Amino acid sequence: GSVRMLMLVLCLAALLGALGAGGTELTLELPDSAQRCFHQELESGIKFSLDYQVISGGHYDVDCYVEDPNGKTIYQETKKQYDSFSHHTDLKGVYTFCFSNEFSTFSHKIVYFDFQVGDEPPILPDMNNRVTALTQLESACVTIHEMLNAVIDSQTHYRLREAQDRSRAEELNGRVSYWSVGETLILFVVSIGQVMLLKSFFTEKRPSSGGAGT
pLDDT of residue 16: 43
Cα 113 from Cα 27, distance rounded (Å): 6
Question: Distances from the Cα of 6 to the Cαs of 1, 13, 15, 40, 89, in angstroms?
Answer: 9, 11, 14, 38, 39
Residue 196 clears pLDDT 90, i.e. is over it: no
Cα 189 from Cα 194, distance rounded (Å): 9
- Domain 25-119 matching CATH 1.10.10.60: the answer reads no
Highest mean pLDDT among 4-13, 100-109, 146-155, 198-207: 100-109
Q: In terms of pTM, does the model score above 0.95?
A: no
Report CA torsion sign: 156, 157, 158, 160. Answer: positive
Beta carbons of 128 and 122 less than 8 angstroms apart: yes
Per-residue pLDDT, averaged over 66-89, amounts to 93
pLDDT digits (tens, 9 = 90+) for 13-48: 444 444 444 668 888 899 989 999 999 999 999 999
The domain segmentation of the chain, as residue ranges, is 25-119, 123-200
Question: Distances from the Cα of 185 to the Cαs of 163, 190, 191, 192, in angstroms?
Answer: 33, 9, 10, 11
pLDDT digits (tens, 9 = 90+) for 133-169: 667 777 777 788 778 878 877 887 787 778 778 777 8
